[in-house]
Each structure stands twice: as structure tokens, then as C-alpha cells.
Homo-oligomer: A and B are copies of this chain.
């Protein structure tokens, strides 16, 4: 809402004693701080009086060659007179001087970027008056000392161009000369001496005398604040935060009040509700005869606000009333600062209080019940990122800890456990009920049993989309990946982080939400799924246009997704089913098969397993739809790594000699064998020795090596230069039709079994990596062949839908054609992002993405935040062309972005029907979907979360951000 237009004649806006020239909506003219002070005053809070010089004067000051015009000075003096009157003090008074603060305040928050002058009005005379009033000479002279320093620095630029702060040097030298170690040892006479040294140094450095005239001090300070708008750091901050340079800053001049003016003075902060739990109770702390700094410094322990009720019921009632009033006024929990000056209560600041995620949810839901806000507003209040905290175990905020290194925050949640370096061991120890963290350089599909056994996964390589990250997220287990500072030496059985050498069994803690790694156990707090959250998400579902589904590969996952509120499975990755311990060997045999018959017999075994999987999934998700993606990864992903195999084979061959011929000669061999090899392989030698001996006793010793050789040959034959662009997805399905046919049959048969039991199901078959209609036709022909067969065999009608992943760029270009057969599209934005940027997911994050982010070449990691200007444009084209062919075409997204709030907003604006996210992110997605529908999300780039601002609670501008986000700018 733009500020009410005010005549530009007025340059200065007074506030105080319940009256104000401005108001809270006038941020453009008065800056955020000025508008807020005016508003607080108007609402009736006892704000120390003051006035604001408008932002327009900033330009005028600049234009006038850094001079304040006489008219402005006159207005300031008129307003100063009002302040003096209200505060009952005179500026520069010798007995009880009015002191002022002079602060900047622009339309957007620029914390710490511009200058401030406090205690303005002190001079050699008025400092005595302050002393008389406070009976605290140390405070009074120290305030004067600080003022000189601040004024000298900010206004007179005494330190300009010097390497060290000249005032700081004087103080340090003085302390050294007098043998003081701390500022606290300075006595009043010392302070007086330092003041004189300061004044002399100011004169020496600037050629001017520190001004004793309070008005001269005031003009200087106002000019300095205006000038601070143009400092290099302020300009740099504006550039980074995209704040226009022509906004300018306002200047806020306000009477200072002091809480340390005796027993009837004090200071404190309070919250209208508990910021930790959200409970509706008046909460806060205060200290009498103290300043704000004393509370912060922790020298004295503040008292709970309830004590004030007994000590000073009148002030307490006033304060409580103001708090309630402000909460009602801003309709949000407030964080207020107050000062009692000689028995009079002043409110210094009120703002929306920061709060924990669970408090935010509870406050929002309770405020709806109190009819303070609407359900829509409640939804708008909760940042989806904040919600994430609640849904995963996190480190106890109270626990002390120091991270030893930080990797990629790959799968959220925190957990502790003993280090284990090997999936087999993890499985073994896991059976003994031990808490484990699997620590690897990187993980492979064959480590999957280690994932099941471990509580968390830590790797030294790979990003958010590495195997470890994706699998851990899918399972909802915490994971930190790419912690490159960790050197893992499998042979030595150590993980070295800096000076720490960790071994198997050592306990560590990982925080997958921050990427941090800790040595030892750090206590954690469990995830919460409160009834308030449940209520909030139900409201969200009513508001959202986007449906939220879950990514789930097993019935267990499906049940979890459903508990989190998923309305269907948007992506079931069938390859995950092949990765479990009992199935991988069958899969490997199938790949190694040399004849079609042999392959078919393994496929028959897999068929049974998959049929059971799908039956479970369909039942768990009934009556919602389940989208099954046919096999996607290249076959070599199911086979061991080529380098490991070669090493294994080499050792096995070396060992054959020793094991099969255990006489003196082999003993010699052991002695003369390359010591390097011997050392490196000692562990493997023992393990293979055992295995070989075992095999030998069964008389099949050679088989081990032969089999490894066979696998190696296959791995070599299947090897690809760029597997991500390789023989996978539908390409595989067309090359090995028997695999896709097996999967399609398993889906249809599972559906038939459910239908026989009268369970409502909606199976959807999805083809990955499609780039042309012909591929879809090809796979569809398998379906057309098998469907009637299955229906006949089971004697029931089997429903299904057939659709395409859209993850290849060409599929976007051919979307109009694909929609001829595809009944739905599901954007695989991981792969689509990869192909659009030509960035390999696995390489980019570790090689150059960090540099790109640091150098502002890319603001976000496109694998986390859906790229609005590239990937989303392709999606837009695909949706448009697809729906032109098939108006009812259902469109969803099943990439990692489906769980990212900013990306969900973009999906909403692109007109998608659903997003699919990993189960623990389903609630986040539900909230984000609702917020997107409210269409009041700010139009800032999807990746940056907004800093919480006072004005966030105001009805925000109704800019049609949805429209903006869709518009394909060039």
C-alpha cells in the first residue's frame, strides 16, 4: 500500500505525547524506523518524543553540496522546542540536559550500514547536570567520553584514513600507563583525563575543536547521517540487496531516556507470548537502575517480569496494557523494549517477536481461534523453512557444541552414533542395537543395507544430489555429504578431521539441517507434529491449488508419506526396490545373464517381488493414485565399481597362490611380494583369505575368481563416459524390453490383486527419459499387449493411466506430441536442470557451484532452487503445448524441487496440478502450496528467504506475483 501523499513542504515530522505528524504507512518518506515511532505514538504508547527528517531531505542535502538549508534548520528547531516541552528538559541545559539520539532510517532495513550518534547535547557543562540527575559520575563522564569518540569519528571523521581508531589507541595507552587491565578500573578522574586527551587528539587530527554548542553538534550529526547513505559499504549492501540508491535515508532525532537514573529507573524487554513455546503468557525480563547494555552484558541477572508486578504494580499494569494493545494493533506477537526513567515508563521499540518454529505454529493457530487473524493470515505467517525444524530431530538449542567441520546439509535432522566405515559392519552392529553413523567417501547402491542399519550418513564427497543424499532423504535419515575436510582411510580404519583422528566406534553427531559435524554426542530434540500443526496444515490443504504427493518406494515409505498428509505417490522409483539386500543379487544375475532364457528366469523372480511391492504400495495409498516410474538408472549402477573390482580381483589372484599352496614356497612369496601391495592389502587379504578358504573347502575356489572376472567384463562392457546421459530410462526399456514388460506386468497384476479385494486403486505408469513420441508408443505397445492378458487371467477390470516424465529438454520441445499418448506429465526437474545447465549434478556441486554462488554468477544452487529463468521457461512451454493437445493433461513435478518452498510457489504459478516430495517434506510442501495459492508471496527470487520484518504483519501489497513469476522475460 503506497504511503499517503504528503505535501513536500513539510520536511520534519514530529512525534510525542500521543501525537504524530506521520504514521506507520509512511515508510517511503519517514523510513521504517520513523514510521514505526510515529505509529507507536499514535496508538498511545509513551514513546520518548522526537521527530523525523524525511528521506527527501537526504537528496536535498546532497544537492545543496552537503549543507542543511536554513528552512530545514528552522523546522528542526521548532520541533526541538516541542520535544523539550513534552520531555520537560532543555537541550544543553546545565542542570538536567535533554540528550538526543540521531539515527538513520531508510525504507528498507540496512542494519549497521549507516551512522548513529547517541548522547548528543553533552558538553563540558551539561555533563555536570547529567551527573547531578543520575548521581552516577562514572556513567555521566563515560557517556561524555563515548559521545566525543562517536562524534569525532562519525561527524568529524577524525579517524578517516587511519589504520587504527585514534580514540581506542588513546584509551589503551592510558590504561597501559596506569597499569589498568579493564575499562572497569577507570575512575572518574581517569575518565576526565581521557576526555581531555580525546578533545586534544580531535583537534590535532581534524584541525577543529570538538564543538561545545549542542545545536552545532546536532547539525553536524544530521549531516553525517545523510552522508552515511553514500558510504561504500552502504552502496555495496544496497547493490547486493537490490535497494535503489535514490531512496535515501531519513534522520530520526529522539529524546534519550535512561534506566539508570536511580532506584525508580529501570529497563527491560518483554514478549506478548512465549517465543519458545508460543504459550499465551506475558513473558519478559527487567533490571532496575540499569541500562539495556547491562542486561545484555550479563553482569547482573535480570528479573522475570512477574516480579515487576509486585515491585511496581502501576508500571506493570501500564506495561501489560501496552503489550496487549500492540499485539492487537499489529495482530502478532510483539517483542517490546521499555525503559523506566525516574518512575515514568517509556516504550522504546516494538516489533514482531522472533520465535521458534513450534511457537510460530501455536501462535498462528491460537490467534485464529482468538479471531485476531484469518486462517489465510495464519498460513502466510509460517515460513515453510521454519516448519522444517519441527519435522526433524534437531540439536538441543541449549546444548553446548562446536562443529569440527561443515559439509553439505544433505538430508535434514540431527543424530549421533558410533562411526562405522562399511555397510556390512553397519548391518552386523546394527543387529546388536548399536547407534551408528555410516561414514564413507561416497556411497553406492550396494551400500544400501548400511543405510538401513545406520542412523545417519556422513560422506566426504558429493552434494545434495549424491547417492547418499538422495537415498538418505528418501529414508528420512539425517545426512551430511561432501564434508571434504574429512580424509577417510579405509585401510587404516580412520577418518581424519583436522587434528582429530577418529576410529570405528568413536561417537560423532551430524546435523543434516546445517551440514555440521560434531565429535561426541550432542543431545538432540525430537521432531514434533503438534495438533496445532495438524490444524494449520488442514487449513493449508483447503487453500492450496497444488496437490501434494509423496515420493515413496516401499509400502513403509508410503505409509509415512500418508501420515505426513500426502495425497498419493507422485514417484515410486522401482530401481530402489532392486537395491535391497535380498534383491540386488537377483538383479545382478539378471544383468549378467547370457541367454534370454536365463535372463527371463531371473526376471520371473523379480516379477514376484515387484508384484508384492506394488500390491503393498497400492493398498497403503488407497484410494489415492500411485505413480510408478519404470526402471531408470543404467544397468551398471547395479554392479560394483570397476576400480574396486579390479583391485579385488588382483588381490584374489595374488592370494590364490598362497591359499592353494600353503607350503614354504608361498611363504617365500609372501615375503618377497611387493611390500607395498602387501601392506595395502593386508585387510583384504585376510577377508579374501577367509572367503577363499571357505570356498576352497567346498571345492569351488576357482569360481570366485571366474565370477569376478565375468562381472568385471560386464561392467567394462556397460561402462559409459557420461552415464547421466547414457543408456538408461526408456532407452534401456527399448533395448531390453523384457525388463519393462516384467515391470508393467507386475504393476498390472498387483492392481488386479487389489481390485479382486475390492480396494480402490489408481495405478499410473510413468516412462522416464523420454525424448520423442516414438519411445512412448513403443512402451505403450507393451502395455497394450499385457493389459488384456492380465485382465483375463485375474478376471477383473484393471484401471491404469500412462504418462511421461518430462526431464529431457527435447521432451519439452515435443510436449505437444507426447501428450497425444501421455495422460500426464511429471517434470523430473533434477535431470531437466542438469540438461538445461549442462551441469552434472554429481560434479557441479563439488567442483564449481560454490564458486559460482560466491561470485554471484548464480545466486542459488539450481539443484535446490528451481531455476525460474531457464528450466521454468522450458516447463512453461511444455505445459502450454501439452495442454493444447490434451486440455485435461495432469502435470506434476517429482524432482527434488518438489519439496522446496520457493520452487513450489513457482510450480503453482506455472499451473502445475501437483508436487511430489520426500515424505518428511510433505508438510512443508503442503504449507508452501497454500502460501502460493494465497498469491501474496513476495516477488523476490525464489531462493532467498525474506528477513522477518516489522511490516510482515501488515496487509502486504497485492502485487500479482503469480503473473510476474510466469511472465517469461527475455
Give Cα A650 to B816, complex, Å: 56
Q: CB within 8 A of A808: which of B721, B722, B838, B852?
A: B838
A177 within 8 A of B: no
Q: With A814-B870, A834-B725, A847-B726 known to touch, is A672 a contact of B668 (CB < 8 Å)? A: yes
* A657, A722, A847 — most chain B CB neighbours (10 Å): A722
Q: CB within 8 A of A720: which of B646, B669, B847, B870?
A: B847
CB pair A855–B810 under 8 Å, yes or no, is no
Q: With A654-B674, A672-B672, A810-B870 known to touch, is A769 a contact of B838 (CB < 8 Å)? A: yes
Give Cα A665 to B808, complex, Å: 61
Q: CB within 8 A of A734: which of B654, B669, B676, B848?
A: B848
- When C-beta atoms are compared, the residue in chain B nearest to A810 turns out to be B870
How near does chain B come to A795, taking the closest CB pair, in angstroms? 34
How near does chain B come to A140, taking the closest CB pair, in angstroms? 55
Give Cα A683 to B840, complex, Å: 38
Give Cα A870 to B724, complex, Å: 20
CB pair A838–B809 under 8 Å, yes or no, is yes
A954 within 8 A of B: no
A188 within 8 A of B: no
Contacts of A813 in B (CB 8 A): 836, 869-870, 873-874
Q: CB within 8 A of A814: which of B653, B673, B834, B869?
A: B869
A735 within 8 A of B: yes
* Selected interface stretch from A324-332, A345-353, A430-438, A772-780: A772-780
Contacts of A117 in B (CB 8 A): none
* A839, A842, A874, A881 — most chain B CB neighbours (10 Å): A839
A219 within 8 A of B: no
CB pair A774–B858 under 8 Å, yes or no, is yes
- When C-beta atoms are compared, the residue in chain B nearest to A871 turns out to be B810
Give Cα A836 to B831, complex, Å: 11
CB pair B665–A677 under 8 Å, yes or no, is no
CB pair B668–A847 under 8 Å, yes or no, is no
Q: CB within 8 A of A838: which of B735, B831, B847?
A: B831
- When C-beta atoms are compared, the residue in chain B nearest to A462 turns out to be B721
How near does chain B come to A622, taking the closest CB pair, in angstroms? 35
How near does chain B come to A659, taking the closest CB pair, in angstroms? 12
Give Cα A809 to B872, complex, Å: 12
* A656, A731, A814 — most chain B CB neighbours (10 Å): A731
B-contact bits for A835-856, CB 8 A (1 contact / 0 none)? 1111110111001100110011
- When C-beta atoms are compared, the residue in chain B nearest to A777 turns out to be B857
A970 within 8 A of B: yes
Contacts of A774 in B (CB 8 A): 855-858
CB pair B831–A808 under 8 Å, yes or no, is no
Give Cα A666 to B673, complex, Å: 9
Q: With A843-B722, A874-B809 known to touch, is A653 a contact of B669 (CB < 8 Å)? A: no
How near does chain B come to A135, taking the closest CB pair, in angstroms? 61
CB pair B836–A722 under 8 Å, yes or no, is no
A749 within 8 A of B: no
B-contact bits for A313-324, CB 8 A (1 contact / 0 none)? 000000000000
* A666, A673, A843, A855 — most chain B CB neighbours (10 Å): A843
Q: CB within 8 A of A857: which of B653, B734, B855?
A: B734
A885 within 8 A of B: yes
A455 within 8 A of B: no
CB pair A726–B843 under 8 Å, yes or no, is yes
Please report the total number of A residues contacting B with Cβ < 8 Å: 73
Q: With A653-B677, A815-B970, A836-B810 known to touch, is A721 a contact of B843 (CB < 8 Å)? A: yes
A727 within 8 A of B: yes
Contacts of A653 in B (CB 8 A): 674, 676-677
CB pair B725–A838 under 8 Å, yes or no, is yes
A723 within 8 A of B: yes
Give Cα A532 to B834, complex, Å: 50
Contacts of A852 in B (CB 8 A): 731, 734
Among residues 756 to 785 in chain A, which have CB atoms less than 8 Å away from a CB atom of chain B? 769, 771-772, 774-775, 778
CB pair B843–A720 under 8 Å, yes or no, is yes
Q: With A778-B857, A816-B970, A855-B778 known to touch, is A840 a contact of B721 (CB < 8 Å)? A: yes
A146 within 8 A of B: no
Give Cα A810 to B643, complex, Å: 35
- When C-beta atoms are compared, the residue in chain B nearest to A870 turns out to be B810
Give Cα A488 to B793, complex, Å: 51
Contacts of A672 in B (CB 8 A): 657, 665-666, 668-669, 672
Give Cα A856 to B969, complex, Å: 38
How near does chain B come to A537, taking the closest CB pair, in angstroms? 35
- When C-beta atoms are compared, the residue in chain B nearest to A670 turns out to be B672
Contacts of A674 in B (CB 8 A): 653-654, 656-657
CB pair B873–A837 under 8 Å, yes or no, is no
* A656, A815, A837, A873 — most chain B CB neighbours (10 Å): A837
A66 within 8 A of B: no
Contacts of A676 in B (CB 8 A): 653
Contacts of A668 in B (CB 8 A): 668, 672
Contacts of A642 in B (CB 8 A): 643
CB pair B831–A809 under 8 Å, yes or no, is no
Q: CB within 8 A of A835: which of B665, B735, B809, B873?
A: B809
Give Cα A871 to B771, complex, Å: 11
A233 within 8 A of B: no
Q: CB within 8 A of A723: which of B666, B722, B727?
A: B722
A344 within 8 A of B: no
How near does chain B come to A883, taking the closest CB pair, in angstroms? 11
- When C-beta atoms are compared, the residue in chain B nearest to A874 turns out to be B813
How near does chain B come to A674, taking the closest CB pair, in angstroms? 5
A355 within 8 A of B: no
CB pair A970–B856 under 8 Å, yes or no, is no
A19 within 8 A of B: no
Give Cα A669 to B670, complex, Å: 9
Contacts of A643 in B (CB 8 A): 642-643, 646
Contacts of A557 in B (CB 8 A): none
Q: CB within 8 A of A970: which of B727, B735, B775, B881?
A: B881
CB pair A840–B735 under 8 Å, yes or no, is no
Give Cα A665 to B970, complex, Å: 75
A-B contact pairs, 10 of them (CB 8 A): A653-B676, A665-B672, A669-B672, A721-B840, A722-B843, A727-B847, A771-B836, A771-B837, A774-B855, A810-B871
Q: Apart from A734-B851, A881-B970, what are 16 other A-B pairs with CB-CB below 8 Å?
A: A653-B674, A657-B672, A720-B842, A721-B842, A722-B842, A725-B839, A727-B844, A731-B848, A734-B855, A735-B847, A809-B836, A809-B870, A809-B874, A831-B838, A884-B970, A885-B970
Shortest Cβ-Cβ A-B pairs, 6 listed: A816-B970, A725-B840, A722-B840, A810-B870, A669-B672, A774-B857
